[in-house]
């Protein structure tokens, strides 16, 4: 990610604050693209932070306060990629019991490209996100999985459990396509905001959907697959392991159109 600005509770980040975050791996975050001063799914990102604040710190930061801090960090920039992180200076490995509103760090960076401009190849890896309902800062497992896949010649990693149940990827959710239906894996995972926006609007573009437990053995029954995250509304998957998919550009365009139906909410 290119260099950007870091603000903590409305003030420029200090070395002390950043040292604490570098050494104490406890917190949560959400990230999103700002375009023309608005964000698709902003309410969902804020709800994610409220949930994380309650679970990790005992007290959430009020949503109006988070919005205020985002606006302050953006300044006069109307297009950017933003990461909002929650942390506490009073929590450390030796003293983990503090409860109270967390600090809010807002990072503002230049817009980022999608994860894939061309269809992706995915390696199946036995892996699971820790505390999957939280988008937390303990990301070593995710980065290591993506690194393993890249070193093995793939673009990224798709997670399965020891029984072959499919869940999510390193930085994204996955959906599968058969005829006019999108099939989502049902498994412990982080439901992404982009995934939720697509789900909310698939009917608007004439597509059906269902969620069910999926295994590696189900892959031959699908015509295609795609990944989605906040930087990537929809990117086709060319292959998962040894199983290749045809790339349905029309279906992919419809899925992207579903994401586009979500209202862009002003920060």
| pLDDT tens sequence across 154-198 | 999 999 999 999 999 999 999 999 999 999 999 999 999 999 999
pTM: 0.94
Residue 2 has pLDDT above 70, yes or no: no
Instruction: From residue 74, give the alpha-carbon distance in Å to each of 11, 82, 103, 253.
Output: 12, 9, 18, 31
Cα–Cα distance list, 159 to 163, 175, 216, 241, 251 (Å)? 11, 13, 10, 12, 24
Domains of the chain: 5-109 (3.30.470.10), 120-262 (3.20.10.10)
| C-alpha atoms less than 13 angstroms from C-alpha of 157 in its C-beta half-sphere | 22
Q: What is the mean pLDDT of the chain?
A: 95
What pLDDT digit, counting tens, does each position of 125-145 carry?
A: 999 889 999 999 999 999 999
The Cα 258–Cα 267 span in angstroms is 22
- Phi/psi at 92 (nearest 5 deg)? -150, 170
DSSP sequence for 47-73: HHHHHHHHHHHSSPPPHHHHHHHHHHH
Structure token digits, residue 254: 């419809």
**Strand 103-109 and strand 28-34: pairing?**
unpaired
pLDDT of 8 strictly over 60:
yes
């Amino acid at each position: 990610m290119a260099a950007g600005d870091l603000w903590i509770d409305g003030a420029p980040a200090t070395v002390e604050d950043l040292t604490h975050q570098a050494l104490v791996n406890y917190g949560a975050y959400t990230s999103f693209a700002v375009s023309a001063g608005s964000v698709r799914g902003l309410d969902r990102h804020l709800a994610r932070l409220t949930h994380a604040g309650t679970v990790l710190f005992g007290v959430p930061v009020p949503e109006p306060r988070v919005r205020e801090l985002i606006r302050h960090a953006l300044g006069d920039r109307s297009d950017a990629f933003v990461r909002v992180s929650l942390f506490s200076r009073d929590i450390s490995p030796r003293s983990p019991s503090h409860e109270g509103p967390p600090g809010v760090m807002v990072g503002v960076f230049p817009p980022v490209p999608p994860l894939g401009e061309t269809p992706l190849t995915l390696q199946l890896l036995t892996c699971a996100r820790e505390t999957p309902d939280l988008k937390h800062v303990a990301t070593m497992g995710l980065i290591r999985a993506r690194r393993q896949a890249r070193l093995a010649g793939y673009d990224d990693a798709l997670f399965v459990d020891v029984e072959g149940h499919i869940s999510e990827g390193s930085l994204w959710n996955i959906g599968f396509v058969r005829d006019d239906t999108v099939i989502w894996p049902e498994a412990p995972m982080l439901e992404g905001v982009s995934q939720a926006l697509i789900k909310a609007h698939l009917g608007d573009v004439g597509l059906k959907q269902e969620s069910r437990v999926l295994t590696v053995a189900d892959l031959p029954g699908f015509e295609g697959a795609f990944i989605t995250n906040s930087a990537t509304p929809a990117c086709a998957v060319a292959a998962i392991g040894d199983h290749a998919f045809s790339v349905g550009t029309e279906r992919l365009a419809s899925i992207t159109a579903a994401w586009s139906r979500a209202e862009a909410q002003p920060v």
